[in-house]
Chain A
Amino acid sequence: MSFIKKPRIDLPGQLTNEIGLLKRDYEGVLSTLCAGCGHDSITAAIVQAFWELSMPPEKVIKLSGIGCSSKTPAYFLSGAHGFNSVHGRMPSVAVGAHAGNRNLVCVGVSGDGDSLSIGFGQFGHAVRRNLNMLYIIENNGVYGLTKGQFSAAADKGSKSKKGDINQWKNIDAVSTAISMGSSFVARSFSGDREQLVMLIKAGIMHPGCAIVDVVSPCVTFNNHAGSTKSYTYTRDHYHPASQTDFIPPASEIKVSYAEGTSIVVDLHDGSKLLLKKADSGYDATDRSRVMHYLEQQRARGEVVTGLLYINAELPEMHNIYRTSATPMKDLEFVKLNPGSEALAKLQAGMR
C-alpha cells in the first residue's frame, strides 16, 4: 500500500509529550519496505523514543547510507533534516554535520552491508572519533534490494533462501565496536520494542558514539528455516545480558535492586542509566570481562542483547578538538576573518 499518501488522522485522547507534541509528530512518510520487515519496527521504536524524550524534531538530523535500512530515515521525524548519503559513507557525513553544528542530535541508520562491508572503515572511524551520535545498524544478514546475497554479518553455516550455505565467518558489529574502543555498544532485536526503545533513548543521550546493533529479520529473503537472522531463530536464542532504564535529568531512581545486581551510569546532562544485570556478574563497564562473556555466549549460539558495554567518560570528538561551544555555522564572520591589518602584518614576514 506504499502508493498511498500517509493520512494524518487526529484521534481524540492522544497523549502529548512535555513539548506538546503527539507521537504522530515524530513520524515520517509511509514506509515502502515489505510488510513485516523488522526495520519498520525499529522505525516505530525510534518514533517512540524521541517522543518520550520530548525532543524537538528540528534539533535532530537523521542520516543513512544505502540499502533497505537506509531508506528508513524518511519514515520517522519528518520535522528533522534528513540525509540519505552514499553506500557505506553515512559516518563521514555525520562527522561533517557534527563538526559544523555540534548542537544537532545526530541519528545514523545503517545496515549490515552498509556498515560491515562497504562502510567498514567509516564505521570504525566513527567509533574511533567517538562521534556524538546514535548509530543504529539494522542487521538482517542479507542484501535485500539486490535479492538476497549474504552480508558480512551472516553467520557461518546460515542458509540462504536459495539454499546456499554461508562459508564465511561473520563480522560481529558488537565485538568489533568494543574491541575498537567504543564508548557505548548495545544489541537488540526488532521484535523487542520495550528493550529497543530504552536502548535508543540511552544511545541518544549518551555523549559519544552509541552503537546499537539490531537484529532485524528480512521477511522476504532471510526468514526461513536454516537462517540465523530469522524471527524464529532470534526468539529461540534471545538472551538479554542486562536491562537498561533511562532516567531523565532531575528524576529519581524509583526502583531499587539488591546490591550488586545493578549499576548506575551518569551521563553528562544529568540523566542516568540504570543497568540491571540479568546474568549475575555481568558488568557492562568492564571491557575485558564483557569480551570474555560475549565470546562464551557466541560459542553457545546465543544472541546476547542489552546495553553490553558503556564508558560515558570517554571524550567525544569536540572535547578532543577543544572546539568552540558555539557551533561553527553560527560563528560570526568577523570572528572568523582576521582582517586587512592582520594580513598586512602577516605579509611583512614574507619578504
Chain B
Amino acid sequence: MPDNGVNDFVLKIGTVNGTGSASANGLLLKALFRMGIPVTGKNLFPSNIQGLPTWYGIRVSAKGYMARRKRVDVMVALNAQTYQKDMDNVSPGGFLVYDSTWPRERQLNRTDITILGVPLAKLCNENFSDARVRILMKNIAYVGVLAALLNIDTEILQALIEETFASKPKLVESNLKAISLGFNYAKENFSCPLPVHAETMGDNSKHIMIDGNSAAGLGCVYAGATVGAWYPITPSTGLMDAFKAYCKMFRIDEETGQKNYVIVQAEDELAAAGIVLGANWVGARAFTPTSGPGISLMSEFIGFAYYTEIPSVFFDVQRVGPSTGMPTRTQQCDIMLCAYASHGDTQHPMLLPANPYECFEMAVSAFDLAERLQTPVFVLSDLDIGMNDWMIPELKWEDSYRPDRGKVLNSADVDKLEKFYRYLDVDGDGIAARTLPGENAKGAYFVRGSGHNKHGMYTESSEEYKDLVDRLLVKWKTARTLVPKPVLMRAEKETGIGIVAYGSSDGAVLEALDELRDQGIHADYMRVRAFPFNGEVTRFVEQHETIFVVEQNRDAQLRSLLILETNTDARKLIPVLHYSGMPIPTSCVVEGICEHLCAKDVA
C-alpha cells in the first residue's frame, strides 16, 4: 500500500435497507471507475426488504487488487442502529463521517481516528420540501461530501447523474443540488481532500462494470438458449432477470412482436429442472438458475438426466448453507453437492467462474459441453460474483462462433441407418448419438430412468446395466479432455509450495501471493476452473510438497474432491478456510499459510 493512501483505500457506507442508498453507492463506484482507477464494490445486505442495516464497501486499488480488505479507511455511518459498531470498525488513522444533525458526543469516543460531522439531514430538510425526497437526497448529499473529501471528479458525477436521469430533468436538478450541498459543506468545514483520496489515473475504457448474474444471463442469450425455467431464489434471481431483460432487447421479432424465447417461472425447483430437461430433450437449449436449496430439490431430475443422458445447464449461485442458512451471504459450499448430485453413482461436470467475465464465457461453454456430453453441466458462481459489481475486461464475442450441438442425427441421417439405437457408442468416446422428437419415426426412442440397455430398451439384465453405466465412465474420461484447464501461475522462484483455489477466492489469493512473496514465501498458484479435474490439476498436486487449498466453506470441500479424484496424499493438502458469509479477505489466505509454515518451522 502506498504510504499516502492515494488510490488505495477502503470506503464503507452503513445505511438502512430500503432508503435508496444503492443508487448513491453505485454513483460513487462508477465515478471512481471513470477516473480510471481499479475499483470493486461489495454489497453487504440483510435478508429483508426495508429497515435492517446494510453496508456497501468500495475498494480502490491502483494495483488492481479486487479482494475484500478488512481495513476501513473511510466510514460513512448513517445508521443509528449500527453507529457504534461502524465506528469501532474504522482502522486507526482512518476517518468517520456521520450525520451531525443529531448530537452524538457520548458515542464519539475514539481518539485514534478523525471524526467528521456533516448535518446531512438538516441540509436536506432545509433545501427539499418532500419527505421522501429528503431521505433520498441525504444519500446523494453524502456522495457530495465524499467527492470533496476523496477528490472525486465532480464533472464525472454530474455526467453520471445526467445520464441516469436523462428522461427526468427535474431529478437531475435535485440530485446535483444535493451533491453541491454536501460538497460545499465539506469544502468549507474540513481540509479537503483527505490524505486518503482518489486521483485520476489510467484508462478504464477497455473495462466494464458488471455483476456475475448479468454476465451469465447475457451469456445464455449469446449461447442461443431459448428456454429458461426457474423458481425465484436469492442470490440467483438476478440471472433470470438479466436473461429476460436481454431477451427483451434482442429476441423480440420486430415485425410480429413475437418472442424468440420462453421464460417459465416454475411452481418449484423440481418443476424448473423438469422443464429444462423437457426442452433440451426436444432440442432447445434450456437452463435454470438456482442456489443450493434449489439443487437439493432438483437432485432427482439431475440423476435422471445423468442416466438418460439429457443435456442440461444448471447455474448454482451459491449462498451460505445449510438449509435456508444466510441467503444474502456468500460461500463456496455446494461444490461437493453438485459434483455428485443425486442418488446412485452420479458425477457431473462443473464450471467454476472466478468473475463476471468468466460467467459470460462459461455460460456459453456450459451449453456446448452439456450438448457435446449429453449430461447435466453445472456453473458454480456465488453471491459475491453474482450480485456484486466487478470491474472486468470488456466482453468479447467471435461472430464465427456456432453452438456445438453434439451428436444429433437429423431425419436424413436416421434414414441412412439400418436401425437407430439411442445408447450405442459407435465412436468409443462414451457418447451415443441422439435424435430429436418430431422428426422421424424411425429415430424414435424411449427415455426412461429405469434400467435400459445400449439399444434403449428396458432391461433388468446385470450385464446390460453394467455395460451402460460403464460407458458413462468412458464419457467421464472424455469430459476430462473437454472442460477448461486450470489457470497456472508460477512463482518467481522454484518452490514446493502450491496454492489451489477456485471461483471468487481468486482475488484474495492473487493479492496474498504478492504479500507472501514480500515476506519471502514463494508459492505456485493453480486456479481450478472445472470438474472433472484434468491432467494439469493432477500434475500440479503431484508436483508440490505442500498444497494450500483455499476455499469458502467449513468442510474443505474442494480439498475432499482433490483427495477423492487424484488419489493424492491427503496430508499434504492443507485447508485454508473462510466461511463467515463475507467474501474471503486477503488476510485470511496470508495468515492461514503463514501460520502453517511457522508451526512447521517450530516443529
Binding site for B on A (CB under 8 A): 56-59, 61, 63, 73-74, 78-86, 89, 91-101, 103-104, 121-122, 124-125, 318, 321-325, 327-329, 331, 333, 335-340, 342-344, 346-347, 350-351
* CA distance in complex: A82, B450 (Å): 13
Distance in angstroms from B433 CB to nearest chain A CB is: 14
How many contacts between A and B, using CB within 8 angstroms?
227
Instruction: List 6 A-B pairs, minimum CB-CB distance, nearest first.
Output: A96-B278, A92-B274, A79-B441, A100-B284, A81-B437, A96-B275
Contacts of A333 in B (CB 8 A): 224, 402-403
Contacts of B267 in A (CB 8 A): 121-122, 124-125
* CA distance in complex: A318, B210 (Å): 32
User: Can you identify 21 A-B contacts, CB atoms within 8 angstroms?
Assistant: A58-B437, A61-B438, A82-B446, A84-B449, A84-B450, A86-B304, A92-B274, A93-B275, A96-B277, A99-B264, A99-B275, A99-B284, A101-B437, A103-B438, A122-B270, A122-B271, A323-B258, A324-B259, A328-B226, A335-B260, A336-B260
* CA distance in complex: A290, B72 (Å): 69
* Chain B residue with Cβ nearest A79: B441
The answer to whether B222 touches A338, judged by C-beta atoms less than 8 angstroms apart, is: yes
The answer to whether A104 touches B438, judged by C-beta atoms less than 8 angstroms apart, is: yes
Asked, given contacts A74-B446, A85-B449, A328-B279, whether A100 binds B227 with beta carbons under 8 Å apart, the answer is yes
Contacts of A57 in B (CB 8 A): 441, 444
Counting chain A CB atoms within 10 Å of each CB, the highest count among B207, B227, B256 belongs to B227
Distance in angstroms from A122 CB to nearest chain B CB is: 6
The answer to whether A100 touches B278, judged by C-beta atoms less than 8 angstroms apart, is: yes
Interface of B is mostly: mixed
Judged by a CB distance under 8 angstroms, whether B579 is at the interface is: no
A-contact 0/1 string along B209-245, CB 8 Å cutoff: 1100000001001101011010000000000000000
* CA distance in complex: A339, B395 (Å): 12
* Residue in B273, B439, B450 whose beta carbon sits within 8 Å of that of A58 in the complex: B439
How large, as a class, is the contact surface on chain B?
35 or more
* Chain A residue with Cβ nearest B224: A336
Contacts of A92 in B (CB 8 A): 266, 270-275, 278
Binding site for A on B (CB under 8 A): 30, 33-34, 204-205, 207-210, 218, 221-222, 224, 226-227, 229, 246, 249-251, 253, 256-264, 266-268, 270-284, 286, 300-301, 304, 394-399, 401-403, 435-450, 458
Given contacts A63-B278, A92-B271, A95-B275, 19 further A-B contacts (CB under 8 A): A83-B447, A85-B449, A91-B271, A95-B271, A96-B274, A96-B277, A97-B437, A100-B281, A122-B267, A122-B270, A124-B267, A321-B259, A322-B259, A323-B262, A327-B438, A336-B221, A338-B222, A338-B250, A340-B397
Contacts of A321 in B (CB 8 A): 259, 262-263
Counting chain B CB atoms within 10 Å of each CB, the highest count among A78, A95, A325 belongs to A95
* CA distance in complex: A126, B447 (Å): 21
Contacts of A323 in B (CB 8 A): 258-259, 262
* Chain B residue with Cβ nearest A125: B267
The answer to whether B262 touches A340, judged by C-beta atoms less than 8 angstroms apart, is: no
The answer to whether B449 touches A58, judged by C-beta atoms less than 8 angstroms apart, is: no
The answer to whether A101 touches B438, judged by C-beta atoms less than 8 angstroms apart, is: yes
Contacts of B396 in A (CB 8 A): 340, 343
Contacts of B402 in A (CB 8 A): 333
The answer to whether B304 touches A85, judged by C-beta atoms less than 8 angstroms apart, is: yes
* CA distance in complex: A327, B259 (Å): 11
Distance in angstroms from A344 CB to nearest chain B CB is: 8
The answer to whether B301 touches A100, judged by C-beta atoms less than 8 angstroms apart, is: no
Distance in angstroms from A87 CB to nearest chain B CB is: 8
Counting chain A CB atoms within 10 Å of each CB, the highest count among B259, B274, B276, B395 belongs to B274
The answer to whether B258 touches A336, judged by C-beta atoms less than 8 angstroms apart, is: no
The answer to whether B441 touches A340, judged by C-beta atoms less than 8 angstroms apart, is: no
* Chain A residue with Cβ nearest B267: A125
Asked, given contacts A92-B278, A104-B437, A347-B395, whether A325 binds B446 with beta carbons under 8 Å apart, the answer is no
